[in-house]
């Protein structure tokens, strides 16, 4: 059999690099067909040299010229494209078997939706797209026959612990609850009074995982777990009350499913994203992911705590927007993207993130989320308001 062609959206990021590592281990099974990055031309050029993709995509025409020149000099035949339309193009081409959706944030919406419409196998890391447009996505996947496989470690664990026919409904499968584990991030035990002065460096220093900066900050506020609650709601058609967040500081249990007969099935492993990436790529088979075997003797113990919804206000906001429905999750997601970017630039204190998110949620009206236009309009309104609130230094 010829290798599967994979388009990697966000190939220069943390998930993208781990994906390429798994591809490199299995050249007979996978081929990097298109590599897509935003602005890191040097890194993308190096990836093109190693993986020899058919396409490479960057943000704009100027960056594409730079990359094209370097590729030509190096004798590479890669076709260099730019812009969102090109991301969509390399996600829906007939030769593409699977699309790794690993762009961070709302920027991944259009290309991932293009992959869904074209009926591709979607390896979904980019949780923000499901948070923004879960209804639209799941509907598109149903119509096109696309296959959506979760890469987020928790959702990949839940997927592994659910029966193969979970699409007929969680209750029908005897599922009582999903137990969504959370490390609690770097500030699980930091006194509340010290949180105001947290620096971006401290927020990005996750105790167990090495990740991109946006998701690292989201982990520190636990917005990440909130986004994951919403992601689980759509992926597994779960009611909010069926999703229980469990703080588990060791990040060894990646999540679990609690069944009606009292059985709890969990997936365990070292905190290495190559495990869920490889499982999404090879499902229903399993392949070597280059991950160290789990040494339970070295781990010794596993701890569990209830989440603190007051300390981690963003987690509560996620449940609130699920209950509100419509575009409320898209509004929260957009506000949070602006808030995190401002925090990373030093324009907003750490505790300003939940405050800004809440203020934007209160001000932007919620509409229906069954069209791309509706979702994008809510996203734009929330971004504009969040940006102006930061400029006014409302939460400084
Ligand atoms: P990252 O910041 O390391 O990488 C992001 C990638 O997206 C880069 O390749 C960048 O070039 C690209 N990108 C950014 N903006 C873009 C734009 N406007 N257009 C095109 N490309 C753009 O992020 P990451 O940690 O790899 O996370 C990627 C996604 O995966 C996020 O949605 C995150 O929530 C999710 N995720 C990550 C992890 C992890 O361990 N890193 C775990 C679970 C889920
Ligand atoms: Mg996760």
Instruction: Kindly list the domain boundaries of the chain, sorted by start residue.
Output: 4-150, 158-273+294-391
- Number of neighbours of residue 172 by Cβ within 10 angstroms: 11
Burial 337-351 (b: 16+ CB within 10 A, else e): bbbbbbbbeeebbbb
CA–CA distance from 207 to each of 14, 71, 196, 253, 271 (Å)? 16, 38, 20, 15, 10
CATH of region 4-150, choose from 3.30.70.20, 3.30.70.2500, 3.40.50.720, 1.10.3720.10: 3.40.50.720
Q: Is the peptide bond before 284 cis (omega within 30 degrees of 0)?
A: yes
For the chain, counts of helices (H) and of strands (E): 17, 11
- Coil/strand/helix, residue 52: coil
Could you tell which of 60, 152, 215, 232 is best to mutate to test the pocket of ligand 1, judged by most ligand atoms within 8 Å of the CB? 215
CA-nearest residue, atom 19 of ligand 1:
38
Q: How far apart are CA 142 and CA 148, in angstroms?
A: 10
Same CATH topology for 4-150 and 158-273+294-391: the answer is: no
CB 170: neighbour CB atoms within 10 A?
20
* CATH (residue range 158-273+294-391): 1.10.1740.10
Exposure on the CB side of residue 221, measured as CA atoms within 13 A: 33
Give per-residue pLDDT as tens, 244-302. 999 999 999 999 999 999 999 999 999 999 999 999 999 999 999 999 999 999 999 99
Task: Choose one of 17, 37, 125 to mutate for the ligand 1 pocket test, by most ligand atoms within 8 angstroms of C-beta.
Answer: 125
Measure 108 CA to ligand 1 centroid, in angstroms. Answer: 9
The per-residue pLDDT for 207 is 87
Under 8 Å CB-to-CB from 304, ≥6 apart: which residues? Answer: 246, 247, 248
Q: Give pLDDT < 70 ranges for the chain.
A: none
Task: Give the bridge partners for 82, in sequence order.
Answer: 58
Does this model's pTM top 0.95? yes
Q: Confirm or reject: Cβ of 102 under 6 Å from ligand 1.
A: yes
Ligand nearest to C-alpha 60: 1
Note the pLDDT of residue 284.
98
Separation of CA 301 and ligand 1 centre (Å): 32
Q: What angle do CA 150, 308, 153 make, to 5 degrees?
A: 15
* 40: phi then psi, degrees, rounded to nearest 5: -80, 80
Q: Is the CB of 15 under 6 A from ligand 1?
A: yes
235 lines ligand 1 (CB under 6 A): no
């Amino acid at each position: 059999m010829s290798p599967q062609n994979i388009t990697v959206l966000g190939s220069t990021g943390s998930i993208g690099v781990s994906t390429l590592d798994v591809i490199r281990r299995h050249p007979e099974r996978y081929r990097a067909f298109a590599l897509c990055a935003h602005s890191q031309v040097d890194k993308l050029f190096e990836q093109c040299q190693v993986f020899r993709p058919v396409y490479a995509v960057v943000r704009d025409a100027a960056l594409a010229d730079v990359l094209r020149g370097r590729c030509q000099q190096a004798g590479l035949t890669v076709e260099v494209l730019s812009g969102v339309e090109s991301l969509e193009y390399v996600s829906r081409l007939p030769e593409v078997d699977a699309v790794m959706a690993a762009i961070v944030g709302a920027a991944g919406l259009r290309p991932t939706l293009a992959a869904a419409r074209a009926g591709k196998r979607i390896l979904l890391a980019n949780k923000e797209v499901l948070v923004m447009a879960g209804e639209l996505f799941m509907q598109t996947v149903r119509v096109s026959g696309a296959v959506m496989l979760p890469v987020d470690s928790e959702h990949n664990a839940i997927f592994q612990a659910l029966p193969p026919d979970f699409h007929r409904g969680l209750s029908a499968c005897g599922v009582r609850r999903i137990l969504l584990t959370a490390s609690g991030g770097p500030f699980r035990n930091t006194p509340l009074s010290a949180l105001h002065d947290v620096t971006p460096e401290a927020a990005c220093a996750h105790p167990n995982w090495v990740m991109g900066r946006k998701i690292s900050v989201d982990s520190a506020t636990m917005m990440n777990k909130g986004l994951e609650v919403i992601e689980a709601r759509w992926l597994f058609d779960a009611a909010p009350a069926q999703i229980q967040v469990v703080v588990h500081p060791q990040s060894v249990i990646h999540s679990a499913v609690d069944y009606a007969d009292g059985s709890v099935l969990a997936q365990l492993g070292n905190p290495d994203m190559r495990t869920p990436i490889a499982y999404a790529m090879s499902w229903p088979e399993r392949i070597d992911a280059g991950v160290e075997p789990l040494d339970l003797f070295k781990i010794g113990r596993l701890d569990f705590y209830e989440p603190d919804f007051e300390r981690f206000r963003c987690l509560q906001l996620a449940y609130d927007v699920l209950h509100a429905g419509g575009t409320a999750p898209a509004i929260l997601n957009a506000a949070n993207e602006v808030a995190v970017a401002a925090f990373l630039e030093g324009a907003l204190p750490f505790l300003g993130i939940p405050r800004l998110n809440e203020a934007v949620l209160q001000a932007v009206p919620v509409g229906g989320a069954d069209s791309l236009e509706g979702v994008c309009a809510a996203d734009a309104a929330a971004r504009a308001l969040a940006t102006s609130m930061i400029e006014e230094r409302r939460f400084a």
